Amino acid sequence: MTVRSRLSRLPTLALLAIMTAGALIPTMVPAHAADAQAPNGRGPHAHKPGIKPNGGAEDASDQGEEGPANGTPAGPVDRRTLSIGRGDTLMDLLAEAKVPTNDAHDAVQALRDVYNPRRLQVGQRVTVLFEPRRGGARFVGLEFAPDPLRSVSIARKGDAGFTSSQIEKPVTRKPVAAQGVIRSSLFEAGAQAGVPIAVMMAFIQDFSYDVDFQRDLQPGDRFEVLYEKLVTADGTEAGDGDLLYASLTLEGEDMPIYRHKTRDGRIDYYNRDGESIRRALLRTPVDGARITSGFGMRHHPILGFSKMHQGVDFGAPAGTPIYAAGRGTIEMAERSSSYGNYVRIRHNTEISTAYAHMSRFAKAIRRGGRVEQGDVIGYVGATGRATGPHLHYEVLKAGHQVNPRSIDLPTGDKLEGRELQAFQQTRRTLDKLFEESRSGLQLARTPGPADEKSCNKATSC
Ligand SMILES: [Zn+2]
């Protein structure tokens, strides 16, 4: 295995100054065509160094301004970029780079202050730095970026060993708008519009108070989202930020929700009128993202609410987590003949909810225990009298099963006064941001029938 290296023109003193200031020399360019003869397969590979002495260095001490030493001419530094091979440790990589064992050991020790070297992944590129000297190059440090947001470096500290530092790259939050028409599932529509899965999960979670995803969604319903993408200064996408705004349009009725931070610092989602989306009970007490039955149920809505059937069935794959619909005390968690594994939660003196046919209970779910809304209490199964895996869900009022639809328990958390005014400002800002972001994008959307648009705000059209 060969390690090839090239000289870069970066002045040594400047480099050391930047490193000592806790900065990292960023951006190794991808392997060049010139590197095509680099050995394939496992083991360290050399890459052409693509260094930008003044362009991209993130310097914690001066917020990316050019360091004063940057222009000082001095000797070149030899950079060797290698990859961690399968089964290799950082020590192996340094040995491959011909770093003396003592130096390598000290460097790895110094690294432990900011990064656990065991977390280095196969394929992680590490740039090893040498200062050319008469009688052989001297190892002066190394650097790598374990993720797009972070860079880690080790630098020789005179003759006193090595120091390590870690730089968090500043990110900006870029708003992204997306919208789509639901054909078979919300998830599919989201994927088609390029919305990240985590954002769709948050979306579903936030609407779980109001929407029964198995029954309420119809083909042709629409969604809109405004979410953030985290972007570093060099344009690298580094994950998703918050969901800022979302709207579901069910049978022509818009249900927008907005993320808002109150003056005492609480962050929550509110509807257009400044009412918290949270309710005492979830409408969809299973992981809404995994419900698979699609729209089939809707052709026979009577199945869900017939007189014979005292609850609501949610078809979902076995093992899908079941959530406590609301905060309360567990009244029962036991096996009963036709209900199978069964949990009942008492929410207040009047209202309880019950969950049947579970494959198993979640850990620590036992009679007398307390649960919060959204706690996992068990998993979908087919125990008891069930033809296939599903959650049988009941809402009981004074001990009698009632239609969950007839129970609406708002939390009463409504913004008022100056808080409401602040929220209306948030709302206007987000509405505007959505329109701006949307007009700047090519959207993967299929427009719905024109008549759907005309009844946007009506509740009966
Ligand atoms: Zn049932």
The three-state (H, E, C) secondary structure of 428-440, written as one string: HHHHHHHHHHHHC
Distance CA 265, CA 278 (A): 17
User: For position 412, what pLDDT does the model report?
Assistant: 61
Beta-carbon count within 10 A of 418 CB: 9
Asked if residue 157 and residue 83 are part of one domain, the reply reads yes
pLDDT at position 115 = 94
Q: How far, in Å, from the CA of 309 to the mean position of ligand 1?
A: 6
Structural domain contains residue 1: no
Q: How far does residue 261's CA lie from ligand 1's centre (Å)? A: 40
Q: Which of 130, 145, 168 is the C-terminal boundary of a domain?
A: 168
CA 192 to CA 374: how far, in whole Å?
A: 28
Give residue 268's pLDDT: 92
Q: Which amino acid is at 10?
A: L
456 part of a folded domain? no
373 domain-assigned: yes
Residue-level pLDDT at 292: 64
**CA atoms in the 13 A half-sphere facing the CB of 150:** 8
Neighbours of ion ligand 1 (CB under 5 A): 311, 313, 392
Secondary structure of residue 240 in the 3-state scheme: strand
389: Cβ contacts below 8 Å, ≥ 6 apart = 315, 316, 317, 318, 320, 357, 359, 380, 381, 382
Q: Is 27 helix (H, G, I), strand (E, B) or coil?
A: coil
Do 404 and 433 have their domain in common? no
CATH number at residue 348: 2.70.70.10
> What are the start-end ranges of the E strands in 277-367?
312-315, 321-323, 328-336, 340-346, 351-358, 360-361
Q: Report the separation in Å between the CA atom of 380 and the middle of ligand 1, taken as the mean of its atom positions.
A: 12
Whether residues 220 and 77 share a domain: the answer is: no
User: Do residues 179 and 109 share a domain?
Assistant: no
CATH code of residue 422: 3.10.450.350
Listed residue (25, 268, 255, 245) closest to 141, CA to CA: 25
Q: How far is the CA of 381 from the centre of ligand 1 (A)?
A: 12
Show which of 146, 168, 190 is a domain's final residue: 168
Domain-located, residue 297? yes
What spacing in Å lies between the alpha carbon of 386 and ligand 1's midpoint? Answer: 8
Cα 21 to Cα 39, 66, 363: the distances in Å are: 35, 12, 49
- State whether 128 and 232 are in the same domain: no
Whether 163 contacts 107, CB under 8 Å: no
Co-location of 254 and 368 in the same domain: no
Give the chain's radius of gyration (CA, Å): 29
In a domain, 460, yes or no: no
- The answer to whether residue 431 is domain-embedded is yes
**93 and 11 co-located in one domain:** yes
- Alpha carbon of 220 to ligand 1 centroid (Å): 28
Distance in Å, CA 332 to ligand 1 centroid: 18
- Domain of 375, in residue numbers: 285-409
User: How far, in Å, is the centroid of ligand 1 from the Cα of 349?
Assistant: 24
- Ligand 1 centre to CA of 383 (Å) is 12
Assess whether 207 and 338 both reside in one domain: no
Which of 150, 168, 186 is the C-terminal boundary of a domain?
168
Same domain? 253 vs 357: no
Is residue 175 located within the same domain as residue 141? no
Low-confidence ranges of the chain (pLDDT < 50): 1-74, 294-307, 442-461
- Give residue 337 CA to ligand 1 midpoint distance, Å: 14
Is residue 458, in this structure, part of any structural domain at all?
no
| Co-location of 195 and 309 in the same domain | no
pLDDT of 52: 33
**Are residue 397 and residue 415 in the same domain, yes or no?**
no
Asked if residue 340 lies in contact with residue 388, where contact means CB atoms within 8 angstroms, the answer is no
Structural domains in the chain (count): 3
